[in-house]
Amino acid sequence: MTTPNIPPVDAELALAEVRARRAQVVDTNLVPDWFWYGIAVLMMLFVAAMESEIGWLIAVGTIVYALGLATLILALVRRARVQVRQELIGVRGALAIAGFTVTLVAIGVALGFTLDALGVPLPATLGCLPVAIGLAVGGPRLMSHLRRLMLSRPVAGPR
């Protein structure tokens, strides 16, 4: 069997098409900004409702949180048409996600406990505020970072 002689310009065009399709797949599956904002708002509402210690407000806050979260997740799942392979995110991407998560949790827990120890009113709600801001601001930045990581990987993948 002979190898076909493909002109360099055709090879470049084919590779550009592969890269464009990969970028399309990556962009389709990144978590959109609206999801991060929605999670931040729902989280703040839920924590404030819990901390109010008012029975009906806790019930309403729990229902709003559960329905809101389910709606956000459903909208996200419906939006994603394909799934990105784990190899595309790589170790650096997984570490970025883990670092983002651990940092926000540490900030929220440490601030909440510190405010509680100082006797500040609504310590959990106030401790959650920087976490919500971190989600709303950092979530889209994390997605940009993951996009760059995924698109920087070789088109053919690891060999």
Q: Is residue 1 part of a domain?
A: no
Q: Is residue 27 part of a domain?
A: yes
Q: With contact defined as beta carbons under 8 Å apart, do 101 and 90 qualify?
A: no
Q: With contact defined as beta carbons under 8 Å apart, do 131 and 42 qualify?
A: no
Q: With contact defined as beta carbons under 8 Å apart, do 42 and 67 qualify?
A: no
pLDDT at 29: 64
Q: Report the distance separating Cα 57 and Cα 44, nearest Å.
A: 13
Q: Is residue 61 part of a domain?
A: yes
Q: Is residue 140 part of a domain?
A: yes
**By CB neighbour count within 10 A (0-12 exposed, 13-18 middle, 19+ buried), where does 36 fall?**
buried
pLDDT at 25: 65
Q: Is residue 2 part of a domain?
A: no
pLDDT at 156: 59
pLDDT at 88: 74
Q: Is residue 157 part of a domain?
A: no
Q: Is residue 158 part of a domain?
A: no
Regions of the chain with pLDDT less than 70: 1, 10-11, 22-29, 81-86, 155-159
pLDDT at 2: 72
Structural domain boundaries enclosing 40: 8-152
pLDDT at 7: 77
Give the C-alpha distances (Å, rounded to integers) separating 17 from 73, 83, 92, 152.
31, 19, 26, 16
pLDDT at 8: 75
Question: What's the number of domains the chain is made of?
Answer: 1
Q: Report the distance separating Cα 41 and Cα 136, nearest Å.
A: 9
pLDDT at 159: 44
